[in-house]
Structure 1
Amino acid sequence: MRIRIIDAFTDRPFTGNPAAVCLLDRGARPAEGWPDEAWMRRVAAEMNLSETAFALPRPDGDGSADWGLRWFTPTEEARLCGHATLATAHALRSDGLIAHGWVRFATRSGVLRARPEADGSITLDLPAGLSRPAGPLPGLEAALGRTPTAVLRTEALDKSLVVFPDEHAVRNLVPDLGAVGRLPVRSVTVTAPADGPACGYDFVSRTFCPAVGIPEDPVTGAAHAALAPYWAERLGRPGVTGYQASARGGLVVCRIAGDRVLLSGRAVTVVDGTLHSEPPWIPSGTHRGEPATAPAP
């Protein structure tokens, strides 16, 4: 089985956020569902990237989506992942399976769309993650080692959005990742305004997810689904650009579209290889909301 590692939200290898992508082929088994979930979890643990994406064509679907899409961290299935969706769309475009227009993915977060652009970028259509002011989160300040100016909560993503006064504070943050992993949230995103207009972006961020096997996520599409509404409202305009200031770094162009967020970025394939483990297929109807055929490892 073919498997690729694709760096997303970048146009240069070894930057942005790497995702592993498997485009599944059911071949002559159109009536069957997804591969066994335990197998997908093991592949994701073996790849040991922030997310591994599995995409399944839906010729027999209800017409609402073209592909099914699932994402796995090294330890669990993700509800929403932007960079691995972008990487999957890049793989489909590279294989000539989409050329223009929207491709639709059926996911745990509903139908997501991706569109290749003429300039080589890809636009994602994700649900906006609206954040609301939150009360003190016990242990947060000690875990981060700094006092924020605001703490917000994005319930849909189980995320804390933590605001600092300046870019320097975000870039130089050295959190206690063990303590972050014990906080009662799936992930913590820290953010601050850019140093100035010459930067080429409006805000910076970093995202930490040690509770799900990702100490620091390099560039996080799902986080920008929450960051974009916050910064668009704060700056008073629908279009904003974020830079995720991880060691790899990546630029995300964001635009608010009602209750959706359009994120644009580029991607580049860095590894194209063969996975020498064929997936065990399970009958349709045993996917989401029903027990897997084997326990997770």
Structure 2
Amino acid sequence: MKQYVVDAFTDHVFAGNPAAVCVMDKWLSEDVMMKITCENNLSETAFTVKEGDRYHLRWFTPGGEIDLCGHATLGTAYVIMNFIEPELTKVSFDTMSGELIVERKGDLYEMDFPAYELKPVDVTEDIVDALGVTPKAAYMGRDCLCILEDESQVRNLKPDMDKLLKTEGLLMHVTASGKDYDCVSRSFAPKLNVTEDPVCGSGHCHIVPYWADRLGRNEIKAYQASKRGGELYCTVEGEHILMAGKAALYSEAEINIE
């Protein structure tokens, strides 16, 4: 079986967020897909099968299947539109989060994602203890979003992963206003056996709505300030986010499955 590894939200390898992408003729068992995911040991492995004129897409982390993943969706669309069906400029995916559409626009791949509704929550002692700093505010969607004082606080953060397991939300995102970007952020996912997600698309379904509301405009240029780093070009349209990024192919491989 062919597998691609794509660095998403960047235009060069060794940056952005790597996702493994398996385009298959038919579904494998969940057990085998989990074994492939754990063998890859990346934050996400995407599995997709074409059904009619659309693709069914599933995302797996080393901790299990999840309901939404931005960078692996971008990576899958990049593979399909460059190696599987290069005549396509748009791909529709059926997913656990409904229909997701990715459109190629020059060197950008634009995804139409649902925005998470954010509800203010208390900054708890568990949050402060886990992050090592006191956020200005906290919000909850699928994940927890914490607002920090400034960009340097985001970049220098060294959270305690064991203590993050005790906090609410699937992932923990921290964000602040940026100097060269509208916002900077980092994303941590120890509950999914991922210490830090280099560039988290679904995380920006929390981060971007916050900054769009805060800044009073719907176009947000975001930077994920992980060690690898990545850029996201986002537009809020009602309850949806158009999230665009670039991609670079790292590898192609043959997986040998008995």
Q: TM class by shorter-chain length?
A: over 0.9
Q: Which has the larger radius of gyration?
A: 1
Question: What CA distance in whole angstroms lies between the structure 2 residues aligned with 1:226 and 1:194?
Answer: 17
Instruction: List alignment gaps of at least 5 residues for structure 2.
Output: none
Structure 1 equivalent of residue 76 of structure 2? 88
Instruction: List alignment gaps of at least 5 residues for structure 1.
Output: 27-33, 60-64, 279-297
- Helix, strand or coil for the counterpart of 2:222? strand
Give the CA deviation at 1:100.
Answer: 4.6
1:224 paired residue among 195, 204, 213: 204
Structure 1 equivalent of residue 94 of structure 2? 106
Structure 1 equivalent of residue 133 of structure 2? 146
Name whichever of 91-100 and 6-15 sits farther off: 91-100
Structure 2 equivalent of residue 24 of structure 1? 24
1:125·1:260 contact (CA, 8 Å) conserved in 2? yes
1:237 paired residue among 209, 217, 226: 217
> What is the root-mean-square deviation of aligned Cα atoms in Å?
1.2
Alignment of 1:195-206 (within 5 A): 195=179, 199=180, 201-206=181-186
Does 1:178 find its partner at 2:162? yes
Structure 2 equivalent of residue 124 of structure 1? 111
Does 1:3 find its partner at 2:42? no
Stretches of 4+ aligned residues off by more than 4 angstroms: none
2:122·2:137 contact (CA, 8 Å) conserved in 1? no
2:50 paired residue among 45, 57, 76: 57
Give the CA deviation at 1:181.
Answer: 2.1
Q: Looking at secondary structure, tell me which structure has more strand per residue.
A: 2
Does 1:166 find its partner at 2:153? no
Name whichever of 69-78 and 131-140 sits farther off: 131-140
Question: What CA distance in whole angstroms lies between the structure 1 residues aligned with 2:119 and 2:38?
Answer: 34
Which amino acid in 2 is paired with 1:13? V
- The size of the alignment, in residue pairs, is 258
Give the CA deviation at 1:130.
Answer: 2.0
Structure 2 equivalent of residue 31 of structure 1? none
Name the TM-score, length of structure 1 as normaliser: 0.84
Give the CA deviation at 1:182.
Answer: 2.7
Structure 2 equivalent of residue 214 of structure 1? 194
Cα displacement string for residues 32-69 of structure 1 (whole angstroms, at most 9, x for unaligned residues): xx32111101100110100000010002xxxxx60000
Name the TM-score, length of structure 2 as normaliser: 0.97
Structure 1 equivalent of residue 28 of structure 2? 35
Give the CA deviation at 1:243.
Answer: 0.3
